[in-house]
Structure 1
Amino acid sequence: MMLARRDLLALGTGTLVLGSGLRLALADDKVIVLGVSIPLSGPAAPTGITTQRTLEHAFELINAKGIMIGGDRYTIRPQFYDNKYIPAEAVAIVEKMLADNVHFLFSSGSGNSVPVVGKTTEAKVLQMSGASGKEHLTGPKFPYSFRVQPTNETAYAVYPWIKQTYPEVKRVAHMNPSDEAGYTESEDRRMISEKNGFTTVGNEYFKRGSTDMYPVATRLVALNPDMIDFGGTIGRDQGLAVKALRELGYKGKILLGYSDAKSFVDIAGADAAEGTILFDTLAEPQNAGQKELYDWWIKTYGPPFPSYAFLMWDWPFMFADALRKAQSTDPVKVAEAMRTITYHGIFGEERFGMKSVYGIDSSLTRDIPMSVIKGGKPVFLATVPWPAGV
């Protein structure tokens, strides 16, 4: 959807959540509407709220500069919707967007992204997702679908690092929600871990949002793994599962990601969370760009800083660069430009790649930060380079 500022109307749906901190565009600006479908309530709300606040700030900076296309100055207006991490809600949101002629979408979570990619592809909408999904979301049949956050693919970088850093880990069990994200994460992480010499001793599923994690924790403890990989487990489920595992006597390592560290520790308890390894989680700034984002958040919202904000920071700028390079608001042309961009962001050099895995360059590749919980707080461990050839 491209509108003059004076013509921009709020989209009429009960799930729309208007941002409060966005800089208004100039009267003569043309506006590109970006539909943002994220969980702002329910078990995954901490990541959704962090995403909204981070994107609002990113687009403030982008809009202050503007995007020149031909002789026209454009700004990007995100419209936020609460999908509650319920696929039916996500589908209804996208149907509303398509009816309103929105051409660009960001969605969070596989359960919200995979069910709509057929609709967005048919409508030639550029869909950017922070989600797992493999061939159900990424591939030549979905040329306008981009993964803007490394998810299950992080295992390509993480497992060689685990092998080197924790040589005592040999036996790995996997725990995932029984949905698209969980099945995808489980399949990839088992395959990649085994290629790196680890033995899979178990593969368990649970219902996302469950308040009783003791049944799955009991089965996992009985397997006696050296490490449990939580895969696509997110939000409250992480804390409840770790708490149950430790109460049942599990002493081994736990690997998880997609986490708001404070919420995780609050739910699991500091003692239970101690030693948990966090993949693709930057606990504390390591360079000037990361420090700038960190300082802005603390000044605006106060401590603690949610590490998930780092993961949502760079892709809006890559999207803006693609619009500039395409010199068009046509999603097809913007998608073509996205594949050619090399962006230097807070994680260093970033680009869309992984054609060797998915048959198309549309998954974000970059270095992967690793952290660990110590004394109830995340502490930086290492930055793992993206593996060559993947």
Structure 2
Amino acid sequence: MERIAALRFPAFICVALVALAAIAKPARAEPVLIGVAGPMSGPLAPYGAQMIEGVEHAAEQINARGGLGGREVEIVIADDVADPTRVESVTDDLIGRGIFAVIGHFTSGTSAIAAPRYADADILMLTPTATDPLLTQDGGWNLFRLAPRDDAQAQVSGRYLATEYAGRRVAVVHDKSAFGKGLADRTRQVMNDLGLEDALYSGIDPGESDYGALIRSLAEAQIDALYFGGMAEEAGIILRQMREAGLEATFVTGEGAISPQFTERAGDAAEGALMTAALPRDSYDRPLQESLDATGLEGGRTALMSFVALRVLEEARDHVPELEAQAVAQYLRSGAMLMTEIGPVAFDAQGDASLGEYGLFAWRSEPGRDFIDFEGNLVAR
């Protein structure tokens, strides 16, 4: 068989062909920059780590499916240390980087400062954790919340305490933060309005390793139940030290304690602790642990809702002509149902996610798991 001779071209023709090939090759689309803003250092750093885990997992899966509108998702991490005085510099940096949206901030205080600054820069903001009802009530076009509002949680826990502990002694304690105190105060108000006055009301300083003075006060007050407004670290320590002191009062808290740090600090004392969480609405919804398993996440609810925040953007992108912040925001506020790993999610006109009503759940450990599953543990609603 005759072998075909290799074609040879002059060097100048080869250079021209290479240039034409470069022109013909489509330019790579610019990536979509997504900010993750929260406490990446400081006392609340474990929650910042969960935010990063959730968003990075979502970005990996979205990019494997072709990205957002064909554009690769890149993550930009910003540390505000959950400090309102840091928000201005953090938002300036993210705005200067040209982000399309930010997943964050972590606290209601930092979120309230950041949201209007992002709005002025035409940037979407989805907070997976901020719970102050005033945040979305006073928020702008760009703000969306994937967390339970304090007033919704307080109704459930306050009503439970007033009903189950009528005529008994209930203490209300908070961590002095805007979140913890706000949630504790709202729960206290519901309880008081239903006829049960608190036997003790107190605040603690977060970040301590020993809350012996508080435990002694609780014992002296002979409390039957404690409501704690705060985060997982302090909740776990207080509960463990209560049990070590022989104080068997019922421990009730909010969704801020849904984190591996709670069981790490509480140990065996975590068993039976009560806290508020969203109730599944229908057969499409998944219990917390099942949702974490479906996403491959190892963190707690903060990781999960950070993951869902980015997934919400992916789902919305399929229903707008182009990846444009105002168009995505308008679609989200339309009440459209978005299918996610936790089940369907929709937002109301204020930007609050319709996560269903809230219930009070008892935490039960499961063999081989470092986290706690809520399935089948509903105590009140």
Give TM-score, length-normalised by structure 1. Answer: 0.72
1-side partners of 2:145 and 2:204: how far apart? 25
1-side partners of 2:377 and 2:337: how far apart? 19
Structure 1 segment 251-266 matched on structure 2, within 5 A: 251-256=248-253, 257-259=255-257, 261-266=259-264
| 1:343 aligned partner | 338
SS at match of 1:280: strand
SS at match of 1:255: strand
| 1:187 aligned partner | 185
**1:155–1:192 CA contact under 8 A, matched in 2:** no
Structure whose alpha-carbon radius of gyration is higher: 2
**2:50–2:302 CA contact under 8 A, matched in 1:** yes
2-side partners of 1:92 and 1:220: how far apart? 42
2-side partners of 1:148 and 1:34: how far apart? 17
Cα distance, 1:143–1:173 mapped onto 2, change above 3 Å: farther
**1:37–1:90 CA contact under 8 A, matched in 2:** no
Query: Which AA in structure 1 matches 2:325?
Result: P
1-side partners of 2:290 and 2:118: how far apart? 36
2-side partners of 1:252 and 1:371: how far apart? 14
| 2:13 aligned partner | none
| 1:321 aligned partner | 315
Q: What residue ranges of structure 2 are gaps of 5+ in the alignment?
A: 1-25, 280-284
| 1:312 aligned partner | 306
1 or 2, which has the higher strand percentage? 1
| 2:172 aligned partner | 174
Structure 1 segment 117-136 matched on structure 2, within 5 A: 117-129=115-127, 130-135=129-134
**1:234–1:259 CA contact under 8 A, matched in 2:** yes
Cα distance, 1:74–1:195 mapped onto 2, change above 3 Å: farther
1-side partners of 2:333 and 2:377: how far apart? 24
Structure 1 segment 1-390 matched on structure 2, within 5 A: 28-66=28-66, 73-107=70-104, 108-129=106-127, 130-135=129-134, 137-155=135-153, 158-159=156-157, 162=160, 167-168=164-165, 172-194=170-192, 198-231=196-229, 233-256=230-253, 257-259=255-257, 261-270=259-268, 272-280=269-277, 287=286, 291=290, 293-294=292-293, 297=296, 306=300, 308-340=302-334, 341-353=336-348, 360-367=349-356, 368=358, 370-374=361-365, 378-380=372-374, 382=376
**1:348–1:366 CA contact under 8 A, matched in 2:** no
2-side partners of 1:275 and 1:45: how far apart? 27
SS at match of 2:374: strand
SS at match of 1:142: coil
Partner deviation per Cα, 1:325-351 (whole Å, 9 max, x = no partner): 333433233222111221233443322
Superposition deviation, residue 96 in structure 1: 0.8
1-side partners of 2:177 and 2:376: how far apart? 31
**1:371–1:378 CA contact under 8 A, matched in 2:** no
Cα distance, 1:289–1:181 mapped onto 2, change above 3 Å: closer
Cα distance, 1:342–1:213 mapped onto 2, change above 3 Å: same
Q: What residue ranges of structure 1 are gaps of 5+ in the alignment?
A: 1-25, 354-359
Partner deviation per Cα, 1:7-59 (whole Å, 9 max, x = no partner): xxxxxxxxxxxxxxxxxxx9733422111012233332333222222221112
Superposition deviation, residue 131 in structure 1: 0.9
**2:232–2:262 CA contact under 8 A, matched in 1:** yes
- Count of aligned residue pairs for this structure pair: 341
**2:347–2:354 CA contact under 8 A, matched in 1:** yes
CA-based RMSD of the aligned residues comes to 3.7
| 1:7 aligned partner | none
